[in-house]
Amino acid sequence: MPLSALVVSKFSTTTIVRPCASSSTVLCNHRVSSLVQQRSIRSLATLRDCRNAVRCTSVPPPSQMQKRNKMICSHKTFASDLNELFKGNQDYVSNMKRDNPGLLEQLAIEGQKPPFMVVDCSDSRVSEQDIFSAQPGTMFTAGNIANRFDEADLNSNAVLSFAVETLKVKHVVVMGHYGCGGVASSMLLVNMDQVTRPADIAVQKWISPIREIYETSERKEIVEHRERCKENPITELPDLHDPAFRALVEENVKSNVEKVAKSAVIRDHYASVASSNGAKSPEEEAQIEVFIHGWVYDVENGKVSDLGVSVGPPGKRLPPSPFPMVDA
Ligand SMILES: [Zn+2]
């Protein structure tokens, strides 16, 4: 999610924020938009940021950063002009015919058999097929705010169940990304008593497990950030390069890898793999093995790194990762 999107709901006229402070601060959209614009984070201004800026009736003139990000802000035009979408689809059809003749027809006839399932963020900058230069039919995806997996969430559970048991994916990847708005907002304390709009409540409830990670993590960067907030209340979103912000992105991924691994679907699957030991050929066993991975995507340079928290069926060796490890 874009950073500002979770602070300034597109449905809200006011946002109540109590970041590390004892008293609440009521910020109008203009105020929060200004906060976002004042920060280096604005280099990541996205569609939602642009929309918020447009919605604000007294928005200041475009900043240098906004001018520099002309290409990013052009998303506003792209999203508001359906003709652009239509043209984009025509281009896609032409390109597929040229680069992958017959692929779409083949997938339509034979159905999908993707080897990967990806749990990633809904953020418009995180486009999994583009990130991995993957063709259609490669990835079964479950995107949501801040790449969470929640077994109690029917959608999350159904997607994982279908991916593992029906599609028989080989790898389930939880992929977070630096600069995640859902994670950033989890670092700001919110007085839920003053959050009354349905849209705000929905978002805040969804990211509450990430806030819990922030509040309880023993990771050095996060602990230091919490301590600093106690001494000097902050009212701004964390900077993209804030070590605590990056650490929380990573810890959120790790937490969700663990949740996937502990889900009933995976536990049941691993149990079935264990019970089939010796009864199937190595090739057959390899086909039903599922590995779970935790990766993080860098929105600044497009690179993906491995957090080194992969999980596989008990007794099975993890496949080597070609991705560089995050220093964490
Ligand atoms: Zn995100």
* CATH classification of the domain holding 295: 3.40.1050.10
Cα(100) to centroid(ligand 1), Å: 31
**Domain-located, residue 101:** no
Given this model, what pLDDT does residue 280 score?
Answer: 67
In this structure, is residue 218 part of a structural domain? yes
Stretch 145-172: mean pLDDT, rounded? 96
The predicted pLDDT at position 281 comes to 64
pLDDT at 283: 62
Residue 71 has pLDDT above 50, yes or no: yes
Average pLDDT of the residues in 190-198? 83
* pLDDT surpasses 70 at 6: no
Q: Ligand 1 mean position to 257 CA, how many Å?
A: 16
Is residue 245 situated within a structural domain?
Answer: yes
Residue 288 domain flag: yes
The structure tokens listed for 244 are 């605590």
- Quick one: pLDDT at residue 44? 33
Distance of alpha carbon 141 from alpha carbon 299, whole angstroms: 19
- The domain containing residue 119 runs over which residues? 113-306
Average pLDDT over residues 314-324: 92
Gap from CA of 79 to ligand 1 centroid (Å): 19
Taking the model in full, what pTM does it have? 0.76
Q: Which residues pair with 17 in a beta bridge?
A: 25
Ligand 1 centre from 3 Cα, in Å? 8
List CB-based neighbours of ion ligand 1 within 5 Å.
1, 121, 123, 180
145, pLDDT greater than 70: yes
Rounded Cα gap, residues 304 and 317, in angstroms: 22
Q: 253-310, pLDDT tens digit by residue?
A: 999 999 999 999 999 998 887 776 666 666 666 667 899 999 999 999 999 999 999 9
| DSSP strand pairing (25-28 vs 116-121) | unpaired
| End-to-end Cα, the chain, rounded Å | 23
pLDDT of residue 5: 43
> Looking at the domain assignment, is residue 123 inside a domain?
yes
In a domain, 84, yes or no: no
Q: How confident is the model at residue 240 (pLDDT cuts 50, 70, 90)?
A: very high
What CA–CA distance (Å, rounded) separates 37 from 41? 8
- 277 falls within a domain: yes
Residues belonging to the binding site for Zn(2+) are 121, 123, 177, 180
b/e map 257-266, b = 16+ CB within 10 Å: bbbbbebebb
> What residues form DSSP beta bridges with 77?
none
The token duo for 174 is 């939880």
pLDDT per position as a tens digit, 17-68: 333 333 333 232 333 333 333 333 333 333 333 333 323 223 334 444 454 4
CB 178 within 8 A of CB 240: yes
Q: How far is the CA of 80 from the centre of ligand 1 (A)?
A: 22
In total, how many domains does the chain have?
A: 1
Average pLDDT, the chain: 79
Q: Report CA(211)–ligand 1 centroid distance (Å).
A: 14
Ligand 1 center to residue 110 CA distance, Å?
Answer: 33
> Does residue 90 sit within a domain?
no
CA of 272 to the centre of ligand 1 (A): 34
Distances (CA, A) of 153 to 6, 146, 184, 256, 263: 20, 14, 22, 13, 12
- Known binding site: residues? 121, 123, 177, 180
Strands 304-306 and 291-297: what pairing? antiparallel
Query: What pLDDT, in 10s, does the model give residues 90-124?
Result: 999 999 999 999 999 999 999 999 999 999 999 99
94 C-alpha to ligand 1 centroid (Å): 31
Q: What are phi and psi of 202, to 5 degrees?
A: -60, -45
Joined together, the tokens standing for residue 249 give 């992105």
